[in-house]
Chains A and B, each alone.
Chain A
Amino acid sequence: MSKEQVEKKVNRSPIETGCPDAFQYMHPLMRKNYGQWAYHEDPRPGVLKHVAHSGDAIWTIKAGTQRILDVITLNLLCDIGDKYADGYVRFTIRSNIEYMVDQESKVGPLIVELEKNGFVVGGTKNSVAMIAHTQGWLHCDIPGTDAAGVVKAMMDEVIDEFKGWNMPNRVHMTTSCCQINCGGQGDIAINVQYTKPPKINHDLVSNVCERPSVVARCPVAAIRPAMVNGKPSLEVDEKKCICCGACYPPCPPMQINDAEHTKLSVWVGGNHSNARGKPTFQKLVAAGIPNNPPRWPEATAIVKKILRAYRDDAKDWERISDWVERIGWPRFFELTGLPFTKFHINNWKGARNSLNASTHIRF
């Protein structure tokens, strides 16, 4: 190879195509009836039937997977798609796989094959959906826990709620493995909650951290530059520190994770939809839950308690946020048996908006 060729090979310029065209990967019936759908029905859990104005119908079969897919499993999902469906799939934002077929007769055999291979058909309508999750110990650089493991352990326990229609309305759950909460809002969210200020590895700070930007990152101005052992480092006012971990990503020596003091917390009532009420953020209901691998039984027990209370007490179509709004927080804590503590009272900016400024009290 000439020198020029070598250089060309090393420095291949990217083709900046960006987001690819979706229509080339879309089931022909979806292409044909694009924007022309009339209504849908729910023939059974995990299956949707959409009917277009043209009279065409398409069936969607939704299945939960392990989300972190190995290529052998991915090929298996493709084999099933080729043999029992029409070779077209899509993924939902909660990482379920959806197969689309043009005939009702294909639905049954596809479900049998998916279930035979260990996939779980469900997740539609008023079910507990697949838990959205982040990367955790498997792959994140700042995780307090393992998201994929928490989710696997929990889905094992709520699988019947995924497969059935037993809930008043759909339940979206999310997990996050640090307090940045990449997992987003959920009807129920299981998130990491740190309980101790970062332990600073002073030997490393001056090498790896841009000190002013770490200082600026702290939401409560608890960090200041300091000389420690004759070297430029940082110090934290531990009384001020809210143990949020915001300083940790830009400065890994601010070690916030701790085998014992990193805990889990549970939040409820996040709802992204505008249906009935406006979208809502999730609220803290339980904390101090041990971060207990490999199966996190304490966190799952609390989630199941909440699901049970919601299932038994909410009305049809009420999301968890709607339900709590109707019954009030005191009753929520009563029905779930969870303790109400001083930590539930908001202390952040705009906190007084979340206090009860009325005589509306249910006795």
Chain B
Amino acid sequence: MADKHITPMLDELENGPWPSFISGIKRLRDQHSDSRVSGVANSLLGQLEHSYETRKGYWKGGTVSVFGYGSGIIPRFSEVGDAFPESREFHTLRVQPPAGNFYTTDMLRQLGKSWEKHGSGLQTFHGQTGNIMFIGASTENTQHFFDEINEYGWDLGGAGPCVRTGMCCVGAARCEQANIDGIKIHRTLLNNFTDDIHRPALPYKFKFKVSGCPNDCVNSIERADFAIIGTWKDDMKVNQDEVKDFVEKKGRKYLIDNVITRCPTNCLSLKDDDTLEVDNRNCVKCMHCLNVMPKALSPGDDKGATILMGGKRTLKVGDLMGTVIVPFMKLDTEEDYEKLTELAEETIDFWAENGLEHERCGEMIERIGLVNFLDGIGLEVDPNMVADPTTSSYVRMDGWDDEAEKWFKDKLQSVEA
């Protein structure tokens, strides 16, 4: 290893009680048995200190991929590589985690071992999209590391204009609020699009995220092009004994102030005998009362999912939330899953054909209008899709009678079904 770089600014980040990533990189520099790993750590610290001093980043992108794939690697070449040569090439591999981010310690060790053999020994569980980030390998070792972990079951995630690695909450594995099998949904969808993950050919990125209930722990409405959120249609379950117990422990005032009056649609009331009455037809499944009283209240039995599409962050038209596209669909049988996959395929196909370069699905919906989008993916309008009907009269409304007739016919059909 070259002389240790002096890092007075980074050293400041070793103070304080929260675990320090700087101390961690120094451990690699000072304690790791492989001189390649310690050399890379030293060099990285040197470049990072330089960034802290000058308040600028010094990485640039480029093109690096493993054989057979066009995505999954984030290339990083140093602009100051002459001063910090050991970390001159410092690419990240994005590796797809299992849905729900579960690991055995044995598997973590094995991954760590492969990574210190070929890479920097630095990793993050997980990046913002949801990948395991193996941070820092040379161009050559990128391939070696991938070859090694690919042999024991790990594959790369997306990067660039492609289907990206998905995300789902812990869900049915450990949460009483889960209404859907998030792990199965995540894996079914992602593995249906493996080709679109590894070979970027879409207008821009496309993200699937799955939350077990409307608490939406994976931020899918705000961040996913295609959000699948568990919900239920029938009455929520009320355990009146637990309600009484809650009143006894916390008091009536607490229950009224924190549950009854906080329901957004005013559908809860506490009766004189300390039992709870729920107006289920007006409950919007916001989850608040279930969050406060998880022992007393639970989702119903008629479970399924709401699908929202078009969420994204700032670039380029500003942040957009997802919009309800399917108010409710069952996800029990294999046919249900096929329907879900078909919907995702229709959506991606339509967007691939109609989206402009670098335009997210939500931006396309914004540009062409929801009605055209629904037309494109073969779905009918539904009042659950809007917060309000239009407030503008500047709309062409010839063809009203046909549309009205269609509405009544569809309604009749769904009653008969």
Q: Which chain A residues have a beta carbon within 8 Å of chain B's beta carbons?
A: 10-26, 30, 34-35, 37-41, 50, 58, 60, 64-75, 77-78, 81-82, 87-93, 95, 97, 100, 118-120, 132, 134-146, 148-149, 152-153, 155-157, 159, 179-185, 213, 216-217, 219, 246, 252, 257, 259-260, 262, 270, 272-277, 279, 281, 291, 293-295, 315-317, 348-349
Q: Are A70 and B122 interface neighbours, CB within 8 A? A: yes
Q: Are B98 and A274 interface neighbours, CB within 8 A? A: no
**B155 contacts across to A, CB distance below 8 A:** 14-20
CB-CB under 8 A for A273 and B214, given A89-B108, A293-B9: yes
**A134 contacts across to B, CB distance below 8 A:** 128
Q: Of all chain B residues, which has the CB nearest A88?
A: B104
Q: How far is the CA of A157 from the CA of B16 in the complex (A)?
A: 8
Q: Which chain B residues have a beta carbon within 8 Å of chain A's beta carbons?
A: 9-10, 12-13, 15-25, 27-28, 31-32, 41, 44, 48, 51-52, 54-61, 66-69, 76, 90, 92, 96-109, 112, 115-116, 121-128, 130, 135-136, 146-147, 150-151, 153-156, 165-167, 169-170, 172-176, 178, 181, 183, 186-187, 190-191, 194-195, 197-198, 214-223, 257-258, 262, 264, 284-288, 291-292, 294-295, 298, 313-319, 321, 357-358
CB-CB under 8 A for A183 and B60, given A19-B98, A30-B174, A40-B176: no
Q: Are A217 and B316 interface neighbours, CB within 8 A? A: yes
CB-CB under 8 A for A141 and B61, given A90-B170, A184-B223: yes
Q: How far is the CA of A182 from the CA of B315 in the complex (A)?
A: 10
Q: Are B19 and A13 interface neighbours, CB within 8 A? A: no
CB-CB under 8 A for A118 and B19, given A73-B24, A92-B101: yes
Q: How far is the CA of A280 from the CA of B249 in the complex (A)?
A: 33
Nearest 3 pairs of A and B residues by beta carbon: A156-B16, A22-B98, A137-B51
Q: How far is the CA of A120 from the CA of B19 in the complex (A)?
A: 8
Q: Of all chain A residues, which has the CB nearest B44?
A: A138
Q: Output the least CB separation between A348 and chain B (Å).
A: 6
Q: How far is the CA of A349 from the CA of B262 in the complex (A)?
A: 32
CB-CB under 8 A for A294 and B13, given A90-B102, A93-B167, A93-B217: yes
Main secondary structure of the interface of A (DSSP, over half): loop
**B103 contacts across to A, CB distance below 8 A:** 25, 88-91
One of A25, A70, A97, A216 near B107 (C-beta < 8 A)? A25
One of A20, A73, A120 near B154 (C-beta < 8 A)? A20
**B146 contacts across to A, CB distance below 8 A:** 14
Q: Of all chain B residues, which has the CB nearest A117?
A: B19
Q: How far is the CA of A281 from the CA of B222 in the complex (A)?
A: 8
Q: How far is the CA of A327 from the CA of B97 in the complex (A)?
A: 42
Q: Are B187 and A19 interface neighbours, CB within 8 A? A: yes
One of B59, B67, B98 near A139 (C-beta < 8 A)? B59
Q: Are B56 and A257 interface neighbours, CB within 8 A? A: yes
- Between-chain CB contacts (< 8 Å), 7 pairs: A66-B21, A70-B28, A95-B126, A118-B19, A139-B90, A152-B21, A216-B357
**A281 contacts across to B, CB distance below 8 A:** 222, 319, 321
* Apart from A95-B126, A152-B20, 11 more pairs, CB < 8 Å: A17-B150, A18-B187, A22-B98, A70-B121, A71-B123, A72-B28, A89-B108, A182-B313, A273-B215, A295-B12, A317-B258
**A19 contacts across to B, CB distance below 8 A:** 96-99, 155, 165-166, 186-187, 190-191
